[in-house]
A = this chain, B = another copy of it.
Amino acid sequence: MNISFPQLFPITRKLHPENQEAPVHFLQNRVTPTDYFFKRNHFAYPQWTTSLFSLIIYGEVHVPLAVAYRQLLFMQVKTLAVVLECAGNQRAFYAPKTYGEQWTNGAVSFGCWTGVPLRDVLQLCGLTAGAKEVVFEGHDVGKHLPSGKQTAYKRSLSLKQALHPDVLIAWQLNGQPLPFAHGGPLRLIVPHWYAMASVKWLKSIAIISGEFQGPFQTEDYVYYPATDSGQQPFPVTTINVNSVIQWPLDFAELKKGVHIIRGIAWTGQGVVTNVELSFNQGKSWTSATLSGFADKPDGYSWKTWSFSWRAEQTGEYTILSRAHDSHGRQQPQEAFWNRKGYGYNAVNKVRVNIV
């Protein structure tokens, strides 16, 4: 290991399979450098085979296709700046706590993804009248817990969702070939959705006439609001509006004076329109300054924000951040508790001591 100072690393949550958070508090780059992009794996990495470089499309299509990586390169490409967030991000903050990876704030990253719209590829096949859902299968295979089923990682989208022009089959991240560790050579990117929808190591796309029932569709990535039953479940879909205070760190000690509070905010419906801070437990809020590059009105960026805070008095302060989006949503004071701990987006909280 080549040591230069200081050095920043991803945060290991699990080694087998490899699950890592982005060190999100320490990243000030516009996009998340690929080395720090969060990793969430359900199974061990797939075998490296040449079959990773092609894609089978079959089912409710007029012409089943095997599409090679090199063929995709000749199509019209699209580059989108997209936030990916694990549905379990911030699970560690639930009270009562829930089982699963104890992600803190860093199971979220922001990258520039290049590929072709899925719908342009599906168009080559032609869909039959019976087409209802699109099932994406990854090359990663293993035993699903708790069901114990041996399965590939598979997820479906409705036809309407799948045909959105910004759903990509991507092969580049931040201008470089998509690393194997992030689902390369070919990965689905579904903007605005939690990242379980962005299937890695894309192996096949099945167009089906029914409703897909795989365990990652109907058991995991489902909100179960009841503590003691599976009642009233509903599926995890788009990202909840959210923000993180990057600096200061929680339970930091700071000198009296002016401090630049800074952070990030993102959403899965529309765009972030405002980030507010509160220094009195949410009684009143004051807007932070949004920055970052100009996003399209319907873009998928995260926004950076900052606020100049004059800490005049010594003592303990609690700083809350709350993002709003263009769909009228805002972060709640308390997160919506659900048994598997998905979709946490309570106002972000940092406590500091001014000394």
Partner of A102, one of B1, B10, B250: B250
Task: Indicate if the CB atoms of A18 and B7 lie closer than 8 Å.
Answer: yes
Q: In the complex, how many angstroms separate the beta carbon of A18 from the nearest chain B beta carbon?
A: 4
The answer to whether the Cβ of A97 comes within 8 Å of any Cβ in the partner chain is: yes
Quick one: CB contact mask for A235-277 with B, threshold 8 Å, 1 for yes? 0000000000000011111010000000000000000000000
What CA separation (Å) do A23 and B18 show in the bound complex? Answer: 14
The answer to whether the Cβ of A100 comes within 8 Å of any Cβ in the partner chain is: yes
Task: Indicate if the CB atoms of A9 and B6 lie closer than 8 Å.
Answer: no
Partner of A23, one of B8, B12, B45: B12
What CA separation (Å) do A1 and B268 show in the bound complex? Answer: 31
Partner of A35, one of B1, B14, B180: B1
Q: In the complex, how many angstroms separate the beta carbon of A216 from the nearest chain B beta carbon?
A: 15
Q: In the complex, how many angstroms separate the beta carbon of A119 from the nearest chain B beta carbon?
A: 32
Within 8 A of B (CB), among A1-57: 1, 3, 5-12, 14-18, 20, 23, 26, 35, 45
The answer to whether the Cβ of A99 comes within 8 Å of any Cβ in the partner chain is: yes
Q: What residues of chain B lie closer than 8 Å to A16, measured between beta carbons?
A: 6
Task: Indicate if the CB atoms of A251 and B353 lie closer than 8 Å.
Answer: no
What CA separation (Å) do A252 and B353 show in the bound complex? Answer: 33
Tell me how many chains of this kind the complex includes. Answer: 2
The answer to whether the Cβ of A130 comes within 8 Å of any Cβ in the partner chain is: no
Within 8 A of B (CB), among A105-147: 145-146
Q: In the complex, how many angstroms separate the beta carbon of A170 from the nearest chain B beta carbon?
A: 18
Task: Indicate if the CB atoms of B145 and A181 lie closer than 8 Å.
Answer: no
Q: In the complex, how many angstroms separate the beta carbon of A40 from the nearest chain B beta carbon?
A: 13
Given contacts A146-B253, A251-B99, contact A6 B15 (CB under 8 A): yes
Q: In the complex, how many angstroms separate the beta carbon of A187 from the nearest chain B beta carbon?
A: 16
Residue of chain B at shortest CB distance from A14: B249
Given contacts A15-B26, A23-B12, A355-B145, contact A97 B7 (CB under 8 A): no
What CA separation (Å) do A182 and B5 show in the bound complex? Answer: 12
Partner of A251, one of B5, B45, B98, B148: B98
What CA separation (Å) do A355 and B255 show in the bound complex? Answer: 49
Task: Indicate if the CB atoms of B179 and A3 lie closer than 8 Å.
Answer: yes
Q: In the complex, how many angstroms separate the beta carbon of A4 from the nearest chain B beta carbon?
A: 10
Residue of chain B at shortest CB distance from A252: B99
Q: What residues of chain B lie closer than 8 Å to A253, measured between beta carbons?
A: 99-100, 145-146
Task: Indicate if the CB atoms of A18 and B35 lie closer than 8 Å.
Answer: no
Q: In the complex, how many angstroms separate the beta carbon of A331 from the nearest chain B beta carbon?
A: 22
Given contacts A1-B35, A181-B5, contact A251 B15 (CB under 8 A): no
What CA separation (Å) do A18 and B18 show in the bound complex? Answer: 25
Q: What residues of chain B lie closer than 8 Å to A99, measured between beta carbons?
A: 251-253, 351-353
Q: What residues of chain B lie closer than 8 Å to A23, measured between beta carbons?
A: 12
Q: In the complex, how many angstroms separate the beta carbon of A301 from the nearest chain B beta carbon?
A: 24
Q: What residues of chain B lie closer than 8 Å to A180, measured between beta carbons?
A: 3
What CA separation (Å) do A353 and B101 show in the bound complex? Answer: 12
What CA separation (Å) do A99 and B314 show in the bound complex? Answer: 14
Q: In the complex, how many angstroms separate the beta carbon of A256 from the nearest chain B beta carbon?
A: 10
What CA separation (Å) do A25 and B335 show in the bound complex? Answer: 29
